[in-house]
Amino acid sequence: MGNRGRSERPIGYWLKRADEAITQSVNEALGGLGLTRVNWQALALVRRSGVATSQQLHREMRDLVGAAELDAILVSLEALGWLSRRPDPEGSAALQLTEAGTRVHADALEIQAK
């Protein structure tokens, strides 16, 4: 396909390609820390909130990842010792960064800034 055909593609096509390129770049940059773009975004949301419920994370990340995948990511971040979980009065899990999670967040933030 020539350049003319490429320029006629709908904007959604180009947005999808840009999102894929961002994801690949972030995954490569943060891979050494054991993070992906979605893991990083979950950690960053918890850090920003101080304490975040799983319901809040599901709402804020619903356009990026499905509920089952996000639950698996949160369990994996907890297993790595980066998140701690406690019951929340609303029946959801309240999540916060551990000391190790705070360190990996800081390391990832430094990489992201570059």
pTM value surpassing 0.85: no
What's the pLDDT band for 6 if we cut at 50, 70, 90? low
For residue 97, the surrounding DSSP H or E stretch is strand 93-97
Cβ contacts of 66-73, under 8 Å, gap ≥ 24: 69/38, 70/38, 70/42, 73/38, 73/39, 73/42
Query: Residue 108: is its pLDDT beyond 70?
Result: yes
Q: Where are the domains of the chain?
A: 3-113
Query: Residue 90: is its pLDDT beyond 80?
Result: no
Q: Which CATH architecture has domain 3-113?
A: Orthogonal Bundle (1.10)
pLDDT in tens, 66-87: 999 999 999 999 999 999 998 7
Query: What is the reported pLDDT for 1?
Result: 46
Average pLDDT over residues 93-107: 94
